[in-house]
Amino acid sequence: MNITQNLKKEWFVWPILLAPFVVSIFLWDQLPEEVPTHFNAKGEADDWGPKWINAIMLPAIGIATYLLLLVLPLIDPKKKISNAQKPISAIRIFTSIFFVVIYALVMTVSMNIEVNLSQYVYLGVGVLFVIIGNYMNSVKPNYFIGLRTPWALENSEVWKRTHRLGSKLWVVGGLLLMGAPFIIPTDFISDFIFVIVVILAGVPFVYSYLIFKKMEPSSQNNEED
């Protein structure tokens, strides 16, 4: 399936991605000239900038991300991943929706409307992790999407096993991120998030290596035979 066919199939994504620009035009005169552009782990603004950053650049990043995920399969050297695969399409669509949700939250804060930003952001990130984890097990070996360890790229069976484990970890990790603002004290939430991210990235990495080394002797024996 080529890019044009995918764009037609996913036509509903574009109204979602373009809606923020319409909202920004409508709210432009009501936005302060300087708005919060960065937030700490507690959801508190710690940097400010011109309003176009939130109103224009943020939704533009969402469109750029969608387009990037659309063209990446075309330049995959392995040619084992395609836009037609359900996991790739799902990740592309839900990532786009995620950026629009982030835009809505940031714009709400920019309008000086009180909102628990960190709570909603962690909830959104958690949902995204759960969705990606749910589809991760179906992603074929490639250089762009998935747990691309050197050993998983070298061996399709290692890729399969690594992503089987990663899929479960990411779903559980996503659920923990969703609940973090409600169960973890504010002062410790950044440390909690750091530990979760390290586990989600580190455990599959080590597991991939161990599986590869375990399979290596049998692979060498087959080559000698």
- Among the listed residues 19, 12, 96, the one whose alpha carbon sits nearest the alpha carbon of residue 62: 96
**pTM of the full structure:** 0.80
- CA–CA dist 168, 23 (Å, integer): 38
- Per-residue pLDDT tens digits for 190-217: 889 899 999 999 999 999 999 999 987 6
Residue 190 burial class via C-beta count within 10 angstroms: exposed 0-12, middle 13-18, buried 19 and up:
middle
CA distance 33 to 8: 38
- Is the pLDDT score of 134 beyond 80? yes
Q: What pLDDT band is residue 222 in, cutting at 50, 70 and 90?
A: very low
Q: Please name every residue paired with 35 in a beta bridge, in sequence order, or none if there are none.
A: 49
Model confidence over 144-187: pLDDT tens digits? Answer: 888 999 999 999 999 999 999 999 999 999 999 999 888 888 78
More confident: 32 or 82: 32
Share above pLDDT 90 across residues of the chain, in percent, rounded to a whole number: 53
